[in-house]
Amino acid sequence: MKEFRFCALCLILAALLSACGRQAAQDAPGAAAVPSPAAVPEAPAESTSTPSHTAPAEIGKAFDDLSFLNEEQRQAYEGAYKLNYTLYGMPDNLVWVDVSPRFTQQSDSEGVFVLTVGNYALYENPYTDFTNLMQSVFTTDFIRRLGPLYTEKFIDLDGHLAASCDSVLAYPMHDDLSRTVMDNCPDTYRLESVTDDTVVFALISHYDRNWASSFAPDDMDAYTIEYPIRLVRTADGWRVDEFHRENCHPGHSGLCHRRYRQPSLPPGCAGWTCLGHKHLHHHNGAGGRRLAVCTV
pLDDT attached to residue 18:
52
Q: Which pLDDT tens digit goes with each residue over 150-198?
A: 999 999 999 999 999 888 887 766 778 778 888 888 899 999 999 999 9
pLDDT band per the 50, 70, 90 thresholds, residue 212 = confident
Q: Which pLDDT tens digit goes with each residue over 223-266?
A: 899 999 999 999 999 999 999 887 665 544 333 433 333 333 33
User: Rounded to whole angstroms, what are the CA distances from 10 to 2, 23, 103, 156?
Assistant: 12, 20, 108, 112
Q: Which pLDDT tens digit goes with each residue over 82-122?
A: 998 899 888 989 999 999 999 999 999 888 899 999 999 99
pLDDT attached to residue 286:
35
Q: Is residue 232 within 8 Å of residue 239, measured between CB atoms?
A: yes
Q: What one-character DSSP code corresponds to residue 84?
A: H
Q: Kindly report whether the global pTM for this prediction surpasses the value 0.75.
A: no
Percent of all residues in the chain with a pLDDT value above 90, rounded to a whole number: 45
pLDDT attached to residue 246:
74
In sequence order, the β-bridge partners of residue 126 are 160
Q: Is residue 240 within 8 Å of residue 229, measured between CB atoms?
A: yes
DSSP codes, 100-165: SSPP-B-B-TTS-SB-EETTEEEEEEEHHHHHHHHHHHB-HHHHHHHTHHHHTTEEEETTEEEEE-
